[in-house]
Structure 1
Amino acid sequence: MFQDSPIYDRLIAERGDIPTQVRREAERVSREVEFAMQPLLSGGSVPAPVRPAPPAPTWQRSALPPGPGQL
């Protein structure tokens, strides 16, 4: 991209070739994701995610029986 620029060459000498490092890291991450996704892409069986059970009710309002003389 900026191979013929003396400013770019000086920045690379001072700071390193950041765009190349970022590109390599992105390619590495892409390979890791592809490897991790292989079971899903090949149609292999993947265990269903475990969902926690909802908490048990600790108190529940219920109807009271009619009091005396209210029937």
Structure 2
Amino acid sequence: MFQDSPIYDRLVAECGDVPTQVRHEAERVNRELEDAMRPLHAPGRLPGTERPPSPGTGWQRTAMLPGPRPH
């Protein structure tokens, strides 16, 4: 990134290579998010053999009507 920059080299020597550390941490978090967002597979079931989800079987946004909320 800043290959011929004595100021950058001095900052890296004093503080560490913060941009590289941030990039590695962002890549790690991205991998964890990809794992978390991947659908869960039942034991013994091969990937790709799952049935598609039925319509309406997930989180859906619905409007709340005015007035008291049911308990």
TM-score band, normalised by the shorter chain?
0.5 to 0.7
Aligned-pair CA distance for 1:3: 1.6
Provide, for residues 11-69 of structure 1, a one-character-per-residue CA deviation record: whole Å limited to 9, x for no partner.
000011000000000000000000001107x88688856xxx932xxxxxxxxxxxxxx
**2:4 partner SS:** coil
Give the alignment's TM-score, normalised by structure 2. Answer: 0.57
**1:39 partner SS:** coil
Partner of 2:8: 8
4+ residue runs of structure 1 moved beyond 3 angstroms? 42-49
Larger radius of gyration: 1
Q: How many residues align?
A: 51
Q: 2:70, 2:3 → 1: CA distance?
A: 60
Counterpart of 1:7, as a letter, is I
Unaligned runs of at least 5 residues, structure 2: 41-46, 60-68
1:1-71 paired onto structure 2 within 5 Å: 1-39=1-39, 54-55=70-71
Counterpart of 1:36, as a letter, is A
Q: 1:24, 1:15 → 2: CA distance?
A: 16
Give the alignment's TM-score, normalised by structure 1. Answer: 0.57
**1:54 partner SS:** coil
